[in-house]
Amino acid sequence: MPELHITERALLTVPEAAERLGVSQCWVRRHVSELPAVRLGRLVRFDSLLLGSRFRGISADGNSRKPESVGDVLPFRRYQAGYIYKTGRRVKVWYGRYREDVRTADGQIVRRTRNVRLGSLVELPTRTAAQNALSKLISKPPSAGMTFRELVDRWEIVVAPTIQTTTAEYYKKELRNHVVPAFGARKVSSIGRYDVESFLAERAGKFCRNTLRGMRVSLGRVLGWAVACGWLERNPCAGVKLPQAGQKVVRNVLSPEQTIAIAGKLREPYSTLVLFLAVTGLRVGEAVGIQWGDFDGNTLHVSRRIYEGKAGAPKTKNSERYLPIPEPLLARMRALGGREWVFESRAGTPVNPTNALRRYVRPAAKELKIPLGGWHDLRHSLVTHLRRSGWDAKTVAEIVGHSSPTITETIYHHVDRSDFRAALDEMAAQLLRDVTKCTEAGAEPKTQVLQ
């Protein structure tokens, strides 16, 4: 029994251990500290029992693993000190040379030699200080060897199809118009938090806060996917706050008279489209996406919207709803004569809301001297008028398709000075009803104690 125990615990030489693991002898020597090794003077031996039970070097197909592919067996660690040298005539500068691990898009790790500037002799007065600076660089995890533009291309192929179509299109637009022009040629591994904050700060004077938020979210989604793929250690967008930005689009509450005046200046189908939006509060993308097949009698099923010229699902789950359309409005819509789409262009396609707003609606409002920020003003106007008329927030939220009445109250319900006057007049009528008026100029007012 003792002899059997000794045989089972036989000590292997480096060549024997390499053969057992199916790797090269050089690889074994580099990973001595991670293997069950025993040092006998200058000799190194490996415990065969522990080596066989804890480590595998032969893959399932019988082929030997390459040193870099044994990472699923051994933790991937590299031991190198690098090489530092000093150069410069007038100003002496420390440089370091080392081999960097770069993770490719397919997950493989390749090694590349890098020469980096560590600092001047003033910043790093000793060789030890320079060596410590180099050690910090060497200890970094493998970086991604692809540009941001390449990362975005892969994200659009793999991730974008898993997101709601309109949301994915929004991200693509933000990336295409703002983010890729700024970061496209940069290596993904070189993008840090400072770069993201600088990018947003430079654009704060040109764009509103919502646009900046779109830039940050789209950039963060792509870089977050890179983290999930193991190409980045952390997302540089995490925790980044938006800078103070320019003024956002001001929403105006139009009176019924102003809406009628704008509609009266427009030709069809834009005139009826303005009135339809003012009555129903639909988003303009939902309105131009209406087909005659969406009606059951006078009840409209809002089930799609047009975004960037493409038909897709409504913005949220609550946006899919049923609305009874008043008969006078429905009769006017029938008179438009659309074949498939209710609000149809001459080419038989849905009306382009961007072109309609720029070419017809805004010029008409400007001629009438009526402030108009955009199509969404009609939606805000409906919510405000319904709330002033006493309709509860829940009902109004269901009509316009909000996910929560809180959105209806905090964003869409606008208060103006007429609301202040009514509230203050009501309070004054209660508190000042027994206060006597001065009968003579300059006389002290006479008051009565309220009972």
Q: In this structure, what CATH number is given to the domain that contains residue 156?
A: 1.10.150.130
Instruction: Please give the residue that has the higher pLDDT: either 6 or 100.
Output: 100
Do residues 311 and 350 share a domain? yes
Residue 61 has what pLDDT? 44
Q: In 140-251, which residue ranges form alpha helices assigned H by DSSP?
A: 148-158, 165-174, 180-183, 193-203, 209-228
Residue 133 and residue 96 in contact, taking contact as beta carbons nearer than 8 Å: yes
Instruction: Please give the residue that has the higher pLDDT: either 261 or 101.
Output: 261
| Residue 298 maps to a domain | yes
Residue 175 has what pLDDT? 95
Q: What b/e string do you get for 294-332 counting C-beta neighbours within 10 Å, with b at 16 or more? A: ebeeeebebbbbbbeeebbebbeeebbbebebeeebbeb
Instruction: Please give the residue that has the higher pLDDT: either 271 or 133.
Output: 271
State yes or no: pLDDT of 62 exceeds 50: no
Secondary structure class of 120 (helix, strand, coil) = strand
For 363-395, write each residue's pLDDT tens digit. 999 999 999 888 989 999 999 889 888 888 898
Domain boundary among 397, 412, 427: 412
Domain boundary among 30, 46, 72: 72
Do residues 58 and 162 share a domain? no
Do residues 265 and 363 share a domain? yes
Secondary structure class of 224 (helix, strand, coil) = helix
| Residue 273 maps to a domain | yes
Do residues 154 and 127 share a domain? no
Residue 223 has what pLDDT? 93
Q: Say which range, 59-73, 311-325, 341-355, has the weakest mean pLDDT.
A: 59-73
State yes or no: pLDDT of 260 exceeds 90: yes
| Residue 442 maps to a domain | no
Taking Cα atoms as reference points, which of 275, 255, 418, 412 lies closest to residue 342? 275
Do residues 90 and 201 share a domain? no
Residue 109 has what pLDDT? 62
Instruction: Please give the residue that has the higher pLDDT: either 223 or 189.
Output: 223
> How many distinct structural domains can be found in the chain?
4
Domain boundary among 228, 246, 275: 228
Residue 133: how many other CB atoms lie within 10 Å: 18
For 190-205, write each residue's pLDDT tens digit. 899 999 999 999 988 8
For 388-418, write each residue's pLDDT tens digit. 888 888 988 889 888 788 877 777 777 766 6
| Residue 362 maps to a domain | yes
Highest mean pLDDT among 54-68, 301-315, 368-382: 368-382
Q: How many CA atoms lie within 13 A of 349 on its CB side?
A: 7
Instruction: Read off the DSSP letter of residue 162.
Output: G
State yes or no: pLDDT of 124 exceeds 80: yes
Do residues 167 and 103 share a domain? no
Do residues 64 and 89 share a domain? no
Give CA separation, 353 vs 93, 177, 283, 336, 362, in Å: 61, 20, 11, 17, 12
Q: In this structure, what CATH number is given to the domain that contains residue 332?
A: 1.10.443.10
Do residues 107 and 23 share a domain? no
Do residues 263 and 399 share a domain? yes
| Residue 38 maps to a domain | yes
Q: Which domain holds residue 312?
A: 256-412
Do residues 90 and 64 share a domain? no
Indicate the pTM of the whole model. Answer: 0.55
Secondary structure class of 100 (helix, strand, coil) = strand
Residue 132 and residue 106 in contact, taking contact as beta carbons nearer than 8 Å: no
| Residue 423 maps to a domain | no
Taking Cα atoms as reference points, which of 141, 378, 164, 384 lies closest to residue 279? 378
Average pLDDT of the chain is 81
Residue 437 has what pLDDT? 52
| Residue 240 maps to a domain | no
SS3 content of the chain, % helix, strand, coil (to 5): 45, 15, 40
Do residues 162 and 224 share a domain? yes
For 273-291, write each residue's pLDDT tens digit. 999 999 999 999 999 999 9
State yes or no: pLDDT of 314 exceeds 90: no
Instruction: Read off the DSSP letter of residue 70.
Output: G
Q: How far apart, in whole angstroms, are the C-alpha atoms of residue 33 and residue 44?
A: 11
How do 143-144 and 295-296 pair as beta strands? unpaired
Do residues 96 and 194 share a domain? no
Question: pLDDT band for position 23 (50/70/90)?
Answer: confident
DSSP symbols for 270-316: HHHHHHHHHHH---HHHHHT-BGGGEETTEEEE--EEETTEEE--SS
For 71-115, write each residue's pLDDT tens digit. 444 444 445 678 889 888 888 899 988 877 666 655 566 677 878
Question: pLDDT band for position 68 (50/70/90)?
Answer: very low
| Residue 396 maps to a domain | yes
